[in-house]
Structure 1
Amino acid sequence: MTDPVLALKDVTLSLSGNAGMVEILHGISMNVHKGETLGLIGPSGSGKSSLLMIMGGLERATTGRVAALGQDITDMSEDALARFRRDHMGIVFQSFHLIPTMTALENVATPLELAGHADAFDRARAELETVGLAHRADHFPSQMSGGEQQRVALARASAPRPKILLADEPTGNLDGANGAAIIDMLFDLRDRHGATLVLVTHSNTLAQRCDRVVRLTDGRVAADQLRAAE
């Protein structure tokens, strides 16, 4: 088997709260391999989103080690982590996190420009076309529906051709029809770019589309199952 795209070893996370230190994650070890789609499920407060943020270097583990694409990111500086995410990761949140003063095209082009791509706007326009929003390229987020904004966020995440796609409840703010469309697009982006996808979800139906499902309970891995072959 190839080296893992993501490797976590004995990861813990403790955060300071009103009642003192709160232990969020407890000694989590897992590997995620190239091209795999991993669904993270569990009740609210189980640590799913925190685990995803650690995988993306957006939260630092209190103890343990985290490696992505063979590089130990545990102790990387904030600037180095930002560059690593820019070059290798696409992240989609429940809240769309679009820049309100930029058009859809500008939002998608921004990470490409930051990475130094001379054809940033051409690639951004092509990615918007892929998610069915070529006609909305010059619209601002406030002029688009929630479903359209999430499609722009998907296009922005996928335009740099990331090796790792991380999605935190990407359908949480959408109705059923828009949510289903977003998930279809997310899996299509994974297939087109050969990315490894880690997906936090409350939906068992969505989880069953993943190659593997990890259930968290109280910050611990309660189950880790491969989907049965169809």
Structure 2
Amino acid sequence: MNTVLQVEQAALRLNGSAGPVEILRGIDLDVHRGETLGLVGPSGSGKSSLLMLLGGLERPTGGTVRALGQDLSAMDEDALSRFRRGNMGVVFQSFHLIPTMTAQENVALALELAGQEDGMARAAEELNAVGLGHRLDHYPRQMSGGEQQRVALARAWAPRPAILLADEPTGNLDSSTGAQIMDLLFGLRDHGATLVLVTHAPELAERCDRVVHMADGRLAA
């Protein structure tokens, strides 16, 4: 089984007002191609910080993080951005849509940044696939939270990344809408995507191929 993400003795230390704070402490973790991995643990355990390291959105202060064989720790910001555009999709709890762009434009932008042509046509197809063909010309403020999260998911998945990272993607949604989003996410396994999911919800963790528990910045036994 191919290793898609490899973390070796990764540490993350941030400087707070009261001095250095150890966020992650010596994390070792391998994630395999096509696997769905759940990261669970109490608030403040380091789940989201580990996801940020996996996506190259935060740099480790110790150890290494590799994605698809590439050392993210050694890349500069431009190289990291190019790598993410071609290989990763990220879905956040708070959607992160561009408010001045329509749903279709938000998705098309991700495709264009990834160097793919016919961005607007492809964006329409992706939004149709998540049940939002009737919302192409709507702005984020004109959509419900569930609809915005479906746009965010379409945007993350449209370039067909090998790795999809999701940080509490249902945290701001009601249970019914959240279940729809998770069905869409887990359906991506059929396309061979590797999914790493941060969640507090036991019913979501149970759907993962493997669950890793975190506590105090470490992987719990």
Match of 2:217 in 1: 219
How far apart, in 1, do the equivalents of 2:139 and 2:118 lie?
21
Q: Deviations over 1:159-207 (max 9, x none)?
A: 000000000000000111111111001111332x310000000011100
Match of 1:194 in 2: 192
Q: Deviations over 1:70-93 (max 9, x none)?
A: 111112000100110000000000
Q: Give matches, 1:83-98, under 5 Å.
A: 83-98=82-97
Match of 1:149 in 2: 148
Q: Deviations over 1:142-169 (max 9, x none)?
A: 0000000000000000000000000000
How far apart, in 1, do the equivalents of 2:115 and 2:75 lie?
22
Q: Give matches, 1:109-188, under 5 Å.
A: 109-188=108-187
How far apart, in 2, do the equivalents of 1:137 and 1:190 lie?
26
Match of 1:75 in 2: 74
Q: How many residues align?
A: 221
Match of 2:100 in 1: 101
How far apart, in 1, do the equivalents of 2:92 and 2:86 lie?
18
1:209 to 207, 210, 214: 207
The code of the aligned residue for 1:165 comes to: L
The code of the aligned residue for 1:122 comes to: A
With structure 2 as the length reference, what TM-score do the two structures score?
0.98
- Helix, strand or coil at the partner of 2:7: strand
Structure 1 residue runs of 4 or more that deviate by more than 3 Å after TM superposition = none
- Helix, strand or coil at the partner of 1:151: helix
Q: Which structure 1 residue ranges, 5 or more long, are not aligned?
A: 224-230
How far apart, in 2, do the equivalents of 1:79 and 1:168 lie?
23
- Cα displacement (A) at 1:115: 2.1
- Helix, strand or coil at the partner of 1:59: coil
How far apart, in 1, do the equivalents of 2:50 and 2:196 lie?
10
How far apart, in 2, do the equivalents of 1:112 and 1:35 lie?
22
Match of 1:66 in 2: 65
The code of the aligned residue for 1:166 comes to: L
- Helix, strand or coil at the partner of 1:177: helix
- Helix, strand or coil at the partner of 1:124: helix
- Helix, strand or coil at the partner of 1:95: coil
Match of 1:31 in 2: 30
How far apart, in 1, do the equivalents of 2:76 and 2:147 lie?
34
How far apart, in 2, do the equivalents of 1:23 and 1:140 lie?
40
How far apart, in 1, do the equivalents of 2:199 and 2:35 lie?
16
- Helix, strand or coil at the partner of 1:188: helix
The code of the aligned residue for 1:84 comes to: F
Fraction of identical pairs, as percent: 71
Q: Deviations over 1:22-60 (max 9, x none)?
A: 000110011000000000000000000000000000000
How far apart, in 2, do the equivalents of 1:77 and 1:164 lie?
20
